[in-house]
């Protein structure tokens, strides 16, 4: 295909991505270096025959004019990144100096919004991913041994938790684990503590979110692994059997190595997806116990006063986080591409 033809074919989609993905990134980075204008203050001296008093008021008109003239705000460089709401450099240094033990250090670090969010996001991501891969693999193996008429039905029901809107799925589960809901009731019955509430305790809320995360993502792993099992060469299994391999050994030395590329694939996709966890937190109304970077952005933007600059700084930090997680995928794609050309 000629360059010219390619250009015209690619123009609409390229334009869409340029205008609504690439430009906003630039705009976010710019925005993150500007802080909102402070109100313009004027000091008026009121003199009575006896004494003069100074009164400071906000000059509404001048403030509005300034904001209209420079909607971005005033330039502050990296200040927003370093303030308490984001990387909190000064606070971390202070905590580092005064903390006596590691426990105390992390405890106090957890009170800073950014590190609190990171703690949950990373725990959530790295606990959920291995568990969902394990569960997905077990489902795939079990379904694969079913009768073929049953398989379609099982796949149908298995797809539901994955396809459902994240916030809707989270709500459905949230209502069930409510202390008046069915699972909440059961947990209270099992523990024998009528006061127990999942909503009130941070560790239990984290567990609920992680359970939700696994429930939501395991079907994806299942479907991918199940498709992989269909391509498993029969002769390899037979050869292993002839060599006297037990069922477990066949699984360990034939099936799992065959599925390994898919495990990597699922792990990478789900690492990236889980890093952006936030609808679950909204659905579970869990922001008092668990926050994530995406949730902070959402929270900044949805308030009465939209804190664009603060949200923008968090967005840039999130993009950097995603880039770090993405780098193995990029390297792999690069290698594949090289391999194909040579």
Which residues ranging from 161 to 190 are in contact with other proteins (CB under 8 A)? 161, 163-169, 171-173, 175-176, 178-182, 185-186
For residue 101, state whether it binds other proteins (rule: CB under 8 A). Answer: no
Contact 31, 72 (CB under 8 A): yes
Region of 46-54, 77-85, 96-104, 230-238 interacting with other proteins (CB under 8 A): 230-238
Give the binding-site size for other proteins (rule: CB under 8 A). Answer: 107
Which of 95/198 has CB closer to other proteins? 198
Rank residues 116 and 181 by Cβ distance to other proteins and give the closer one: 181
Q: Which is nearer to other proteins, 92 or 268 (CB)?
A: 268
Of 55-63, 90-98, 105-113, 224-232, the window that binds other proteins (rule: CB under 8 A) is: 224-232
Which of 89, 93, 239, 323 contacts other proteins by CB under 8 A? 323
**In the complex, what is the shortest distance from the CB of residue 303 to other proteins, in angstroms, rounded to a whole number?**
12
In the complex with other proteins, which residue's Cβ is closer, 38 or 238? 238
27 binds other proteins (CB under 8 A): yes
Q: Is 75 in the site for other proteins (CB under 8 A)?
A: no
Nearest distance from residue 28's CB to other proteins, in Å?
Answer: 4
Give the relative orientation of helices 148-163 and 113-144 as an angle to the nearest 10 degrees: 170
Shortest spacing between CB 121 and other proteins, in angstroms: 11
Q: At its nearest, how many Å lie between other proteins and the CB of residue 66?
A: 16
Does 257 sit near other proteins (CB under 8 A)?
no
**Could you tell me the two tokens for 121?**
């996001």
**Candidate residues 35, 133, 205, 262; the one interacting with other proteins per rule CB under 8 A:** 262
Rounded Cα gap, residues 100 and 323, in angstroms: 34
Which residue has tokens 């050994």?
249
Residues in 120-159 that interact with other proteins by CB under 8 A: 138-139, 141-143, 145-146, 152, 154-159
Integer-rounded Cα Rg, in Å, for the chain is: 27
Q: Which residues contact 205 (CB under 8 A, 6 or more apart)?
A: 198, 199, 284, 286, 289, 290
DSSP H helices in the chain: 3-17, 23-31, 60-69, 79-82, 89-98, 102-109, 113-144, 148-163, 166-177, 182-191, 202-230, 234-242, 247-250, 256-275, 279-283, 293-302, 308-341
- Find the farthest-apart pair of alpha carbons in the chain and give their distance in angstroms, rounded: 112
Single out the residue of 283, 286, 291 nearest to residue 169, CA to CA: 283
* 1-20 binders of other proteins (CB under 8 A): 1-3, 5-6, 9-10, 12-14, 16-17, 19-20
In DSSP terms, 53 is beta-bridged to: 46
Q: With respect to other proteins, which residue has the nearer C-beta, 106 or 337?
A: 337
The reply on whether position 210 binds other proteins by CB under 8 A is no
276 lies in the binding site for other proteins (CB under 8 A): yes
For residues 25-53, one letter each, b for 16 or more C-beta atoms within 10 angstroms of the residue's C-beta and e for the rest, the string is eeebeebbbbbbbeebeeeeeeeeeeeee
For other proteins, the binding residue among 241, 245, 253, 267 (CB under 8 A) is 241
Residue 339 and residue 333: Cα distance in Å, rounded?
10
């Amino acid at each position: 295909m000629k360059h010219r033809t390619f250009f015209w074919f690619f123009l609409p989609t390229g334009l869409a991505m340029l205008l609504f993905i690439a430009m906003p990134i630039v705009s976010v980075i710019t925005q993150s270096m500007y802080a909102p204008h402070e109100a313009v203050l004027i000091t008026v001296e009121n003199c009575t025959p006896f004494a003069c008093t100074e009164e400071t008021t906000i000059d509404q008109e001048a403030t509005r004019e300034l904001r209209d003239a420079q909607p971005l705000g005033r330039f502050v460089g990296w200040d927003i990144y370093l303030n308490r709401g984001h990387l909190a450099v000064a606070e971390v240094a202070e905590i580092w100096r005064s903390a006596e033990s590691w426990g105390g250090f992390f405890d106090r670090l957890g009170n800073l919004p950014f590190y609190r969010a990171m703690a949950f996001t990373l725990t959530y991501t790295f606990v959920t991913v291995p568990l969902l891969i394990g569960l997905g693999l077990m489902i795939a193996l079990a379904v694969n041994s079913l009768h073929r008429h049953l398989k379609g039905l099982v796949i149908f029901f298995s797809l539901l938790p994955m396809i459902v809107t994240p916030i809707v799925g989270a709500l459905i589960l949230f209502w069930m684990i409510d202390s008046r809901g069915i699972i909440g009731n059961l947990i209270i019955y099992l523990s024998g503590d009528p006061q127990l509430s999942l909503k009130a305790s941070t560790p239990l809320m984290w567990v609920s979110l992680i359970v939700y995360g696994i429930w939501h993502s395991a079907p994806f792993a299942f479907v991918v692994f199940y498709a992989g099992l269909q391509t498993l060469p029969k002769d390899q299994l037979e050869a292993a059997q002839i060599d006297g391999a037990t069922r477990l050994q066949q699984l360990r030395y034939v099936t799992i190595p065959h599925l390994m590329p898919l495990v990597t694939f699922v792990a990478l996709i789900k690492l990236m997806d889980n890093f952006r966890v936030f609808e679950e937190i909204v659905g579970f109304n869990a922001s008092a116990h668990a926050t994530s970077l995406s949730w902070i952005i959402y929270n900044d933007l949805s308030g009465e006063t939209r804190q664009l600059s603060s949200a923008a700084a968090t967005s840039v930090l999130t993009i950097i986080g995603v880039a770090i997680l993405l780098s193995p995928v990029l390297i792999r794609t690069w290698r594949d591409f090289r391999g194909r050309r040579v």
